[in-house]
Amino acid sequence: MEFAEHRDYSPGDDLRHLDWAAFARSERLVIKEFESELERTVLVVVDLSASMSESKRNLALTCAAAFSWVALIGQDRLALATLGGEPAYHPAVRGRGQWGRLMDWLRSRPRGGRAELTESLKGLAQRLPRTSLVLVLSDWLEEKAGEALAFAHYRKHQLAALQILDRDDRDPSWSGPLRLEDIETAEFRQLTLEHQTLEYYRQALQEHSGQLREQCRRLGFHFHPCAAEDSPDDLLLRQLVERAWLA
């Protein structure tokens, strides 16, 4: 077996593969991996930022739990990450016995804050082995989100994006003079919402999602928009079975 790479030690790893020379240099516990031992690494990214309403967040967490289970029983190495005010990363582990601990970790992550989707995904893509699979569960409502897709492709990763939008995202029904506040940045705007203004918004949202879909298509990525009110069972069946996201 040929040496392939180092990765951080995780509880349960075979102690015989610890690199003591590397520990002496950096005082970090790292594991030596070899070419024949490398499984695919799957990273599930869950957006827990303030823009993710309760219904969007609940669907994202349900899908993350299901995707994680499928990855672990498929003998893939699984890492988790969350976006929001306190972004967090859980190093990759293997084995279905790790699923409960990973879900406890995911449930304990704080909600709120700003996602910083583009920069966060760029950072995560850099720390993964090349040709990893990245599953991103978010509303993808960030102007430069396409830059993260291009960077993931540059790093030779595969990516699947689930865009979760609720009714207020898709078809807001507000009208009249309003003070709108960005729940991630606290910025606000005073404006009067009329029928034409709402129509401009719907067109802009459609164009934004369409550009993401088209970029994913060109890069060979998966992109699937869904409603926060969708049944998790139907959604997971489509992605896991029909589209074979984790095949």
pLDDT top residue among 239 and 28: 28
Scanning the structure block, which residue is given the tokens 């995904």?
Answer: 121
| CA torsion, ordered 136, 141, 147, 149, to nearest 10 deg | 30
Q: Which residues contact 77 (CB under 8 A, 6 or more apart)?
A: 39, 40, 41, 42, 92, 93, 94
Domains of the chain, start order: 1-38 (no CATH), 39-242 (3.40.50.410)
Whole-prediction pTM:
0.80
For residue 58, how many other CB atoms are within 10 A of its CB? Answer: 14
Distance of CA 203 to the CA centre of its chain: 26
Q: Alpha-carbon torsion 90, 93, 95, 98, what sign?
A: negative
Q: Which residues contact 28 (CB under 8 A, 6 or more apart)?
A: 8, 22
CA 137, CA 82: separation in Å to the nearest integer?
A: 10
Is pLDDT above 90 for 16? no
Scanning the structure block, which residue is given the tokens 């830059």?
Answer: 147
Residue 228 has what pLDDT?
94
- Of 162, 139, 141, 144, the closest CA to residue 221 belongs to 162
3-state secondary structure of 7: strand
- Of 163, 167, 227, the closest CA to residue 202 belongs to 167
- List, for residues 73-122, the tens digit of each pLDDT value: 888 999 999 998 888 999 999 888 999 999 999 999 999 988 889 999 99
Residue 31 has what pLDDT?
83
Q: And the tokens for 28?
A: 């970090």
- List, for residues 206-235, the tens digit of each pLDDT value: 999 999 999 999 999 999 999 999 888 887
CA 150, CA 143: separation in Å to the nearest integer?
A: 14
